[in-house]
A = this chain, B = another copy of it.
Amino acid sequence: MLHDPAQLDLMFQALADPARRQMVERLSRGPASVSQLAEPLAMSLSAVVQHLNVLEASGLVRTQKIGRVRTCQIEPKALSAAETWINERRLAWERRLDRLGDFLAESKDET
């Protein structure tokens, strides 16, 4: 599950659009309806729904419809998958730089 390439594709792709990031920012401050998400965005409601579908497919956002209102909220776990991938890369190159540092320090000692 974790590290599924296709899952990460969808996640990063979802975050690669400013409108969708804005929607995620809004939702990180609390649940919202589709209309509320649309309000600050300069595009049709239809376009917002399409962005929302992308976010939902990526697992970043979960929605439930009650009556005629669809309420959206962030799925915290999903975001951490992206975070984990980035952290692992960072760890890898930090470890590498440490080893490199050690190597250089040793080389210096050997003069």
Partner-B contacts on A (CB < 8 A): 5-6, 8-9, 12-13, 15-18, 21, 24-25, 27-30, 74, 76, 79-80, 82-83, 85-87, 89-90, 92-93, 96
With A6-B18, A30-B96 already in contact, 15 other A-B pairs whose C-beta atoms are closer than 8 Å: A5-B18, A8-B21, A12-B12, A12-B13, A21-B85, A24-B89, A27-B93, A28-B89, A28-B92, A29-B92, A29-B93, A79-B89, A80-B90, A83-B83, A86-B86
Name the prevailing secondary structure of the A interface residues. helix
A-B contact pairs, 14 of them (CB 8 A): A5-B18, A15-B85, A16-B16, A24-B89, A25-B89, A28-B93, A28-B96, A29-B92, A29-B96, A76-B93, A79-B90, A82-B86, A83-B83, A83-B86
